Amino acid sequence: WILGKEHIIHPSDETDISGNYDLNLDGSRYRMTVTEKKASLTIPGDTTPVKVSLEELDRQVNLVFELPDRGYYRLHGNINRRLNIWSGAGESPSGKEIEWNAIRKGNAEEPLSPEKPEKDSDRVSALSYPNNGYGWRERPMRENLLITNATVWTNGAEGIMDDADVLILDGKISAVGHNLVLADLLPKNIEKSTVRTLDAYGKHVTSGIIDEHSHIAISRGVNEGTQASSAEVRIGDVVDPEDIDIYYQLAGGVTACQLLHGSANPIGGQSALIKLRWGLNAEALKIEDAPGFIKFALGENVKQSNWGNAYRTRFPQSRMGVEQVFYDHFHRAREYHRLNQRVLTLQSDKRARKRGEVPVMRTDLEMEALAEILYQKRFITCHSYVQSEIDMLMHVADSMGFTLNTFTHVLEGYKLADKLAEHGAGASTFSDWWAYKYEVRDAIPYNASLMHGQGVTVAINSDDAEMGRRLNQEAAKGVKYGGMSEEEAWKMVTLNPAKLLHLDHRMGSLEIGKDADVVIWSDHPLSMTARVEKTFVDGIRYYDIEEANKRRNEIKNERARLVQKMMRAGGQKKKPSGPKEKHRYHCDHLEP
């Protein structure tokens, strides 16, 4: 095989496979007759043969046939020509995986022509939203809940509480403590009978994981890389609420994400901050009254180091040029804001309006976004790796009078952690991901703990749909590398990203008044054996492992039903639909 394509050097000798076989399948035995690559089955007690579709090539065989009152079987396997035995695996009409074998018993006779089965009616699949395997038949509802007897990770002054209770009312954390008594805690408008009690003995309860750097739930690409600045681009316009990774990450305990623009240019697009409210529309996913964020980038991506020889015309092409892009755009944004304020002043001047001296200001969405940075109304998350470039951007921010909010990736952050802390910048990094390009050559696994030790607010992010499902394990590496306490390591995926996103007043910890974004774990949340059992967002149970297992069986049965329906239809003369492959984005991905 070369690049997945088979090239036969010495073809095997063809052997006649015709004959009578005993087919042992699914606990039953059938007589199978094969003649000139045609085959039929004889069912004990039934004289009507069953037609078998047979494909044979170089010791491999595929069989497809329909048994009355059962459905279609699909078998594949190998032919042992020396022993005259076929064997392999397959799928029953119910979707169950089965093993089978066929043993040659003698020469074949011409198989009889089977009768065509009568077509029967079939049901239509139930609709859900999103209309995929794990969509909801009915929208989940908010519930009042008392979780008892759990190990509770508060991320607050109480720390980790053993045998504690958590009370959730109207989508908020209402109480956390030992031996909570509902009668003493319920407001008058909530009846005790409406509060469900969930015994979580032996389990751990935490606030939801927050992924500060994610690219899930985005449609049609994450980069607008045709110019040095795309500050007018908004990820919030292309949020995809049907992305199955939303559900997968709920299963990993994630409840909120920052959806970032990519890193194809120095000044990227505006972020979207979402909660993983699986089943709701795009607007309903967005966090209400969330602060504005924007993506900046440094390094190889923005100067097009690895884009190939065809990409040599877009400015900047050097790290020094990147710095000048920032200064140029910030000076333009400041001038735009100054003119805009003057226009607003004149518009409020009655005498100026009377004289007709009020100018009209053209709205520039790019300059609007950049001006918001200068006046602390929008915050930067900057893709970064190298010490000198990180230092440069902090100098740009200091000279322009604002604070750089977050350096993401920041794999050389340990080299200037004291400067990051002095400037007031946070860091959102990988735990131990490196060696994927030259500018990350100095990355070390102690980066997060060293920055934390210097007083930097440190988060662990994913930048990857798959890693986003196991951020609890990524946080655990802070204990292994650098000896962080378990509580501080856990905060790197909960409270700290909430602080970086200016949302810690409402999420990131289990404290009274905060959103009920709660996860119940089967084990210690930093353990590799821990599994998420339930995930609540705003007090609504969007993931439940028992429900997931039930849905998985339903999906398996539905798939088997649809396969049977297609097999009975026999195919139609239509142009086949092309493959629909879901694209998972990273910072440097460009839409083809």
Specify the DSSP element, H or E, that contains 238.
none
Least confident of 40-44, 170-174, 308-312: 308-312
pLDDT of residue 347: 79
Domain count within the chain: 2
Nearest to 284 by CA among 274, 294, 296, 293: 274
Band (pLDDT 50/70/90 cuts) for residue 109 is low
46 falls within a domain:
yes
Least confident of 91-105, 115-129, 460-474, 535-549: 115-129
Last residue of a domain, one of 49, 81, 106: 106
Structure tokens at 533: 């059992």
Mean pLDDT of 95-117: 73
Cα 214 off chain centre by: 8
Last residue of a domain, one of 480, 507, 534: 507
11 falls within a domain:
no
386, 251: one domain? yes
pTM above 0.95, yes or no: no
Mean pLDDT of 275-303: 96
Higher-scoring residue by pLDDT: 28, 421: 421
CA dihedral 335, 339, 345, 347 (to 10 degrees): -160
- Residue 379, beta-bridge partner list: 293
Task: Check if the beta carbon of residue 204 is closer than 8 Å to that of residue 530.
Answer: yes
Flag whether pLDDT at 38 surpasses 80.
no
461 falls within a domain:
yes
pLDDT of residue 402: 97
417-430: per-residue pLDDT in tens? 999 999 999 999 99
217, 88: one domain? no
Mean pLDDT of 26-35: 87
Least confident of 362-366, 414-418, 494-498: 362-366
CA atoms of 224 and 222, how far apart (whole Å) = 7
Flag whether pLDDT at 199 surpasses 90.
yes
157 falls within a domain:
no
pLDDT of residue 489: 98
391 falls within a domain:
yes
195 falls within a domain:
no
Mean pLDDT of 163-169: 98
Starting at the edge strand that comes first in sequence, how are the strands of the sheet with 254-259 ordered? 209-214, 254-259, 272-275
Flag whether pLDDT at 15 surpasses 70.
no
378, 229: one domain? yes
72-86: per-residue pLDDT in tens? 999 999 988 777 899
93, 218: one domain? no
Flag whether pLDDT at 116 surpasses 70.
no
The CATH number linked to 81 is: 2.40.128.120
446 falls within a domain:
yes
102, 217: one domain? no
pLDDT of residue 231: 97
Band (pLDDT 50/70/90 cuts) for residue 112 is very low
Flag whether pLDDT at 326 surpasses 80.
yes
Flag whether pLDDT at 365 surpasses 70.
yes
Nearest to 224 by CA among 241, 213, 242, 238: 238
pLDDT of residue 80: 86
147 falls within a domain:
no
445-458: per-residue pLDDT in tens? 999 999 999 999 99
pLDDT of residue 578: 64
Structure tokens at 126: 């139930």
Separation in Å, CA 83 to CA 34, 37, 176, 457: 17, 19, 70, 68
Q: Which residues, at least 6 apart from 89, have a Cβ–Cβ distance to it below 8 Å? A: 75, 76, 77, 97, 98, 99, 100
67: containing domain: 19-106
Higher-scoring residue by pLDDT: 35, 415: 415
What is the largest distance, in Å, between two alpha-carbon atoms of the chain? 109
Flag whether pLDDT at 121 surpasses 80.
no
Burial 78-99 (b: 16+ CB within 10 A, else e): ebebeeeebbbebbbbebeebe
Flag whether pLDDT at 189 surpasses 80.
yes
- Residue 98, beta-bridge partner list: 90
* % of the chain exceeding 90 in pLDDT: 65
CA atoms of 524 and 204, how far apart (whole Å) = 6
Band (pLDDT 50/70/90 cuts) for residue 58 is confident
346, 459: one domain? yes
Last residue of a domain, one of 77, 106, 135: 106
Band (pLDDT 50/70/90 cuts) for residue 284 is very high
Task: Check if the beta carbon of residue 198 is closer than 8 Å to that of residue 148.
Answer: yes
325, 468: one domain? yes
The CATH number linked to 224 is: 3.20.20.140
